[in-house]
Amino acid sequence: QSVLTQPPSVSAAPGQKVTISCSGSSSNIGNNYVSWYQQLPGTAPKLLIYDNNKRPSGIPDRFSGSKSGTSATLGITGLQTGDEADYYCGTWDNSLSAGVFGGGTKLTVL
């Protein structure tokens, strides 16, 4: 049971847009910044978004992040088959004094 809640799966057609939600509480998302990670099949996770909405160098602007209250959202536009991956949100939980991740969302590009 993850501290952060994500939908298990989402899907959309190539070229379309998809959003992935991440729900938490005041002890985590509500008072800390959120990161998003992309894990392509058989590979290590890769930082996609940090500080709620910032992209590391090399990440295309098709990927975006936002936060409102105790929830965060990852948006991906212009979907490509290469975007098929598992996506995880992550942040710090002040009550646990621990890093926490969502359970992950599997994106399928139909």
Could you say whether residue 14 binds other proteins (CB under 8 A)?
no
Could you say whether residue 87 binds other proteins (CB under 8 A)?
no
Could you say whether residue 30 binds other proteins (CB under 8 A)?
no
Q: How far is CA 8 from CA 21, 51, 63, 85, 106, in A?
A: 10, 23, 19, 12, 6
Choose one: 9-17, 58-66, 72-80, 99-107; the region binding other proteins (CB under 8 A): 99-107
Those residues whose C-beta lies under 8 Å from the C-beta of residue 58, and which sit 6 or more positions away, are none
**CB of 16: closest distance to other proteins in angstroms?**
25
Binding-site size for other proteins (CB under 8 A) equals 27
Q: Using CB atoms within 10 A of its CB, is residue 105 exposed (0-12), middle (13-18) or buried (19+)?
A: buried
Could you say whether residue 2 binds other proteins (CB under 8 A)?
yes
Q: What is the CA radius of gyration of the chain?
A: 13
Which chain residues interact with other proteins by CB under 8 A?
2, 31-33, 35, 37, 43-47, 50-51, 56, 88, 90-92, 96-104
